Structure 1
Amino acid sequence: MEKEAPLTAGYCAATGTYSSCHPPIAAATAESFPEYLFRRLLRFPTDLPAFVDASTGASLSFPDLRTLSLKAASALSALGLRRGHVALLLAPNSLHFPVISLGILSLGAVLSAANPLLTPAELADQAGDSEPFLVLTTAELAPKLISLTASRVVLIDHLLARIDDHGTWACPTPDDICRDDPALLFYSSGKTGRSKGVVSTHGNAIAAASFLEHWWRRDDGSVDVFGCVLPMFHMWGFSSFVLGTPAIGATAVLVPGRFSMDKLMAAMEQHGVTRLLAVPPIVVQMVKVAAGEPFATSKARLCLREVVSSGAPLQREHMARFRRCFPLVSLKQCYGLTETTGIVTTCNFPPLAHNGDDGVEFSNEHEPSSISIGRLVPSTEARIVDVESGEALPPGRVGELWIRGPSVMQGYLRREEATAAALVRSASELEQAGKWLRTGDLCYVDSRGLLHVVDRIKEMIKYKAYQVAPAELEDVLAAHPGIHDVAVAPYPDEEAGEIPVACVVRKPGSHTLQARDVMSFVQDKVAPYKKIRKVVFLDSIPRSPSGKISRAQLKSFLRTCTSTATGTEMHGAAEPQGNLHTGV
C-alpha cells in the first residue's frame, strides 16, 4: 500500500512534482478576459439576474452587464483612459463594481482595486506605487483621496450619469489586447512587509475564471445562487464574483454595507441562496447565532447547500460545530493567493465523487488530525520543498508549497528582486516549463492528494532546535470547552530561544480558567517540545477582516508582558498596544 501512495497523491518522484488529479482544462481562445466573458453573457436567459442587490432589490441581467460594461468603457475612453493605463477603483460592493471593472478591462487598461478601509496615507502609498491615470470612487470616500494630486479623481455617480445617457456611444474594441497584457493590479496583504502590487494578466484572469466555471458547473444543468458578502476589492471576492459567477450564468446576491448576520440570513432566505462564499469569521458567526430561536426557525427554510471558506484556516472545532448546526450543508475550504489570481486548491472538485470526509485527513498517531484545503485545480502543479535543503519532498513531508499553473501572476510591479525571489525555476527545467511561485506556506500532501497547510514559514516558533507551528497548537486549544478564541505566538527565552505562548480569550462563564488548565490541556496532545510554556489572558485576539491573526501585533504586545511568580501566566503592561487587554 505504501508503494501506491505517491501515485495516489499525483506525485512523480523523478521530478518531485504533484500534478492535479483532474483532467486539464482546454485553453480558451480568447485573448482578453472581456472577450472570454462577453461571449458567454449572450448565451444566458435575459430574465435571469447576474447580480441582485439584497438591500434595494435592484438587479442587473446578463445582457445588461455586457451592455453597461461596454458603455462604461466608452465613457472611460472619453476621459482619456487607454491601454496600459492604471485605473484605481475605490468603492464598496455594488451592482456597479463589476460594470466598471469590466469597462476598464475592455479598454486594455489595468484595474487596481483598493480597500475603502485604508487610511488616506495608505491610499496615497498605494496610488504612489501604482500611479493610476484615473481614480474612480464614491462621494463618501472621495475625501480620503484629497492628497492625490497626480491622478484625476472621478466620482462613480458622474461616470454612471454618462453611462445612463441614452445618446450615442462608441463600443471600444482594442484589437491589440493580448493574453500577456497586464489586467489586474491587486495588492498583497503585506504579511512580510509593505504591500506589493501583484500584476495578473488577461491570461491569468481567463485561467482563474475557467477553474471556477468547471468547479461550479453542475452535471444536471442547474445553476447555484451565490451569496456575496466577500469584498470585490479583494482577490477572493473579485475572482469569484467578477470573473467566476458571470461566466457560468449564476446569480450573485450582494449584501452590501456593514456585515450583519441578520441581513445575510434574510437575503439568503429571500433569494434562495444555495452556495455561500465566506471567510472564517462568517462561519464562526453562523454557528454562534444558530442557537438563537429566530435563526433556528429560519434555518429550516434555507436553500443553502454549501459554504466555501477561504482567506485563513478554519479551526477544526469551528468546522465540527458548524456541521452539528447545519448537518445538511457542506462546509469546505479552498486555498488561493493574490499571486495566483484566485483559488488553486479546492475540496470536492468534480468529476471526483463526493466524500463526506474529503476535507479531513487523520494523520499518524503522533500528530493531531489536519483539515485539508483540497486538491489542486486542473492544469496546476505543486511542489513541497524542504526549506533548508531545497529538496522536493514526497507525500507526508512538510515543506514550502510551490505552485505552477496558468493563473500564477506575472510578477510584482516594479519589484524585480521580490519577483525573482517569488518566481523561481529549477536549474534542470526548460525555459518553457514555467516558473514556480513560492507561497511562503508550510504544507504537506497526504496519500490521497489532499493538501494541508501547517503554517506560514515566517510564523514558525523556534524552540531550541525544533520548529513549532502556532496554527497546530491553536487547533488543539480551540477544542477546550472554556476557550472562546486563541492565538499562539513566540516569546523570547534565554535558554530555548523562543517559547510558545498561548493568548487566550475565555468563554463567558469560564472566568475560573487558569494558565495551568490551558497548559495541561495541551500537554498530552503534542510532542514535548510543542508544549505551551506560558499563557496570557486577553479580551480579544487581533484579526484581519478575513480572520487572519495579526501576529505582529501579538508579538509586539507580548514584549510588554511580564511573568507571574509561578512563571506560567503572563500579564500585560499598563498600556497594552492596539485593542489588546489582559483578562481579569
Structure 2
Amino acid sequence: MDSNKNRGIIFGDQNFWIPSHMNFGLLALDAMLRTKDKVALVNGLTDEQTTFGELAQLVVNTAASLIRLGVKRDEVVAVCSENRTEFLITAIAGWCSGASVTFLNAAYGKNELLHTMGISKPKYVFLSPETYKTYYDTMTTTNIVDKYFIFGNTVNDPKLLKFNDLVKTHFNIHEFRPETDINGLMRTALILYSSGTTGLPKGAKLTHLNLITSVNQPSFIAKDLTTLTIAPWSNTVGIICTMDEIVHNRKVVYLSKFKEDEYLSCIQRNKVGVLMVVPPLVVMLTKSTVLKNYDVSSVEYIYSGGAPLDSVVIDEIKKRFSGLRNVFQGYGMTESTGALTEETDTSFRQGSVGKVVLGNIVKIADVETGKTLGPNQEGEVRIKGPALFAGYIGKNLADEQDEEGFFKTGDICYYDEDGYFFFVDRIKELIKYKAGQVAPSELEAILLRHPQVKDAGVVGKPDALVGELPTAFVVKKPGSNVSEKELVDFVADKVSSWKQLRGGVHFIEEIPKTPSGKILRRILRDYLKKPKSKL
C-alpha cells in the first residue's frame, strides 16, 4: 500500500502474467496438460476420479463438438446442474469455443429462472437429470434456447442431445485450436448473477481478463493439499475457487450438498487438507456431535468466505480439528471476480479479512461526501483494476462508478495501518442466508400482494448458524385476521428455499419510513431486540 498511501488508495499486486491468446479456457487447458497423470477431480459421493489429462481430453472433445454443432463466438452456453464433473467440462469447453458461459442456479424458483434466462438469453443449455425434471418444461416456454443437452444416461428424451455423445468422439489435443481471436479486455467469458435491491438478479459480465486475473492470485498456502468444496459452482465463490485449484494443478474433491456424515467421511477417505466453506458450515462443525467418530486430522487449513467469521467460532473450530493450523478469511463479490481481500499463510491477522489481492485497486470513501478516507476510518469500499467486472447486462458501468472510475460496492469496511481490512456492514440491504442472498424488497413486494396486508418491511434477523433469517414486519389491513403461518406459507410458495421467512412475521401498527418513503430498516432491526409481545 506504499505508492498511494497518502491518498488512501491501496494497490494489490498489478504485476502478473497474461497469455497473449487471452482465452481463459485455453489457459486452463494448458494448465491441465502440465500434470496429466495427477488426479484433478474426485466426486466425493461416488469416489469417481478424473485426472488432469482425462479432464483436458474431455474438454477438447466437448469444445470441438460444440464448434461443429455451430456454437459461435459470444453465443451463450448455459449450465443448469448441481456440482458434477460434466459441469466443469462444459464450462471450460464453452470458453475454449469462444462462447460466453452462464450458470442457471439449480435452486432457483421459476420466476428467477425465467428472469435470468431473459437476461443472458442462452442458445444452448446443459441439464442434469435432476434439473431436467424440475426446469425443462419451464425453459421451453421461453423460446430462447436452440439446443438442450442432458448429462448422464438416465434420461431418454429424444428432444435432448446427449452430453456423452459430445465427449465420446476423440479429438487430438495437440491439433485442437481453441478460439484465440479474443479481445480478453472486452469479451464476456462468464455471466454470473448478482442480486440487487430490486430483488431480481442482475447479470454481471466477467471478461476473459477478469478470470485470468482471478487465477493469477498466489495460493493462500504454499503446500500442495487436497481441497474439499461444497459451494455450488453456479455461485462466484464456488466456480472461482474451483477453477483456481484446477489451474494450479491441485486436487479438488467436491460434493453437491451438505450431509454431515457424508461430509466428514469424505474428509477421512480423501485425507482432505483444505476445507473451502461458508461461516454457517463452520458453526455447524463446532456443534457437531458426530465429528469425533471421524479422522479429520488431515485438515490443516479452513478457508471461509461469504460473511465475517466470529473469532469465538474460529477458536472453537481449532479445538475440534486436531491438525488445523489456521482459519483464513476472505472478502469479495461477483463484481471483483471473487476475492477482493484475503488472508494467507504469510499475511494473517485474526478478525480481519486480509489484504487487497492481486489485480485490485481499493479505496475507502466517506458514504456521504465520497472523500477518500485513511486507516481506521469506516467507509464504503470502492474498487477498480483488471479484476473489476465489465458491468451488468443492459446497464452502463459508469452509472455504478464514482468520478475516479471506482466501482461503488455498497459495503462498509476499514483497514488498519498495515493494510488489513475489516468488514463492518453493508450499505446494500441484502440479507445473507447461508450462501444465498435475499433482497428485502422482493419479499415485501410478495407480501403486499396478499389481500389482507396493508404494508410490509423485511430485515435480516441475526443467526449464528446461517447468518441472517429473513424476517417480516407487517401492517394488517383493517379487520384482517391473517395469521403469521398464513403469510409465511404465502411467501414460501413463491420463492427459493433460502428466501423464505424463517425469522417469522411480526405484526405492527406502522412501518417506519423516511419522508421520502424509504423503510427505516435500522428501526425494524431494533424491534427484533424486544420481546415479540411488546411490538
Check whether TM > 0.5.
Answer: yes
Matches within 5 A, 1:232-271: 232-241=233-242, 243-256=243-256, 258-271=257-270
Shift of 1:245: 0.9
- Give the equivalent residue in structure 1 for 2:110: 120
Query: Any stretches of 5+ residues in structure 1 without a counterpart?
Result: 1-8, 361-370, 427-434, 461-469, 472-500, 508-539, 543-547, 574-584
* C-alpha spacing 1:446/1:327, structure 2 compared with 1 (3 Å): farther
* C-alpha spacing 1:139/1:130, structure 2 compared with 1 (3 Å): same
* C-alpha spacing 1:504/1:446, structure 2 compared with 1 (3 Å): closer
Counterpart Cα distance in 2 of 1:106 and 1:549: 34
Compute the TM-score of the two structures, normalised by the length of structure 2: 0.76
Amino acid at match of 1:305: E
Larger mean Cα displacement after TM superposition, 403-412 or 137-146 = 137-146
- Give the equivalent residue in structure 2 for 1:534: none
**2:355 aligned to 375, 388, 398, which one?**
375
**1:384 aligned to 351, 361, 364, which one?**
364
Q: What CA deviation, in whole Å up to 9, does each residue of 1:6-40 have, x standing for no partner? A: xxx648354331223x5843444441112222222
Q: What CA deviation, in whole Å up to 9, does each residue of 1:319-344 have, x standing for no partner? A: 23223323642111101111111112
* C-alpha spacing 1:39/1:124, structure 2 compared with 1 (3 Å): same
Larger mean Cα displacement after TM superposition, 397-406 or 70-79 = 70-79
**1:148 aligned to 138, 142, 146, which one?**
142
**1:451 aligned to 418, 421, 432, which one?**
421
Shift of 1:164: 3.9
The answer (yes or no) to whether the contact 1:217–1:248 under 8 Å persists in 2 is: no
Matches within 5 A, 1:112-511: 112-143=102-133, 144-146=135-137, 147-152=141-146, 153-157=148-152, 158-166=161-169, 171-180=176-185, 181-191=187-197, 193-211=199-217, 214-216=218-220, 218=222, 222-241=223-242, 243-256=243-256, 258-289=257-288, 292=289, 294-299=290-295, 301-326=296-321, 328-329=323-324, 330-348=326-344, 352=346, 358-360=348-350, 371-416=351-396, 419-426=397-404, 435-459=405-429, 503=461
Give the fraction of aligned pairs with identical amino acids, expressed as a percent.
23
SS at match of 1:284: helix
Counterpart Cα distance in 1 of 2:416 and 2:498: 26
The answer (yes or no) to whether the contact 1:124–1:145 under 8 Å persists in 2 is: no
Question: Alpha carbon RMSD of aligned pairs, Å?
Answer: 3.4
* C-alpha spacing 1:51/1:116, structure 2 compared with 1 (3 Å): same
Amino acid at match of 1:372: S
Shift of 1:215: 1.7
SS at match of 1:388: coil
Q: What CA deviation, in whole Å up to 9, does each residue of 1:239-264 have, x standing for no partner? A: 011x21111110001123x3112111
Shift of 1:439: 1.1
Counterpart Cα distance in 2 of 1:556 and 1:11: 50
Query: Any stretches of 5+ residues in structure 2 without a counterpart?
Result: 153-160, 433-458, 466-487, 492-496, 511-523
Amino acid at match of 2:9: T
The answer (yes or no) to whether the contact 1:110–1:184 under 8 Å persists in 2 is: yes
Counterpart Cα distance in 1 of 2:6 and 2:464: 50
SS at match of 1:239: helix
SS at match of 2:228: strand
The answer (yes or no) to whether the contact 2:65–2:166 under 8 Å persists in 1 is: yes
Compute the TM-score of the two structures, normalised by the length of structure 1: 0.70
Shift of 1:50: 0.5
Q: What CA deviation, in whole Å up to 9, does each residue of 1:407-454 have, x standing for no partner? A: 1101101122xx22323442xxxxxxxx32211101100122110111
The answer (yes or no) to whether the contact 1:268–1:302 under 8 Å persists in 2 is: no
**2:505 aligned to 557, 570, 580, which one?**
557
Amino acid at match of 1:422: E
The answer (yes or no) to whether the contact 1:557–1:572 under 8 Å persists in 2 is: no
The answer (yes or no) to whether the contact 2:204–2:391 under 8 Å persists in 1 is: yes
* C-alpha spacing 1:449/1:168, structure 2 compared with 1 (3 Å): closer
* C-alpha spacing 1:439/1:167, structure 2 compared with 1 (3 Å): closer
The answer (yes or no) to whether the contact 1:373–1:451 under 8 Å persists in 2 is: yes
Amino acid at match of 2:532: M
* C-alpha spacing 1:10/1:560, structure 2 compared with 1 (3 Å): farther
SS at match of 2:382: strand
Matches within 5 A, 1:31-110: 31-44=22-35, 46-110=36-100
* C-alpha spacing 1:503/1:98, structure 2 compared with 1 (3 Å): closer
Counterpart Cα distance in 2 of 1:425 and 1:319: 40
Counterpart Cα distance in 2 of 1:111 and 1:78: 18
Shift of 1:204: 0.4
SS at match of 1:77: helix
SS at match of 1:188: strand
The answer (yes or no) to whether the contact 1:561–1:571 under 8 Å persists in 2 is: no
SS at match of 2:87: helix
- Give the equivalent residue in structure 1 for 2:10: 18
Amino acid at match of 1:336: G
Amino acid at match of 1:251: K
Counterpart Cα distance in 1 of 2:502 and 2:2: 39
* C-alpha spacing 1:572/1:411, structure 2 compared with 1 (3 Å): farther
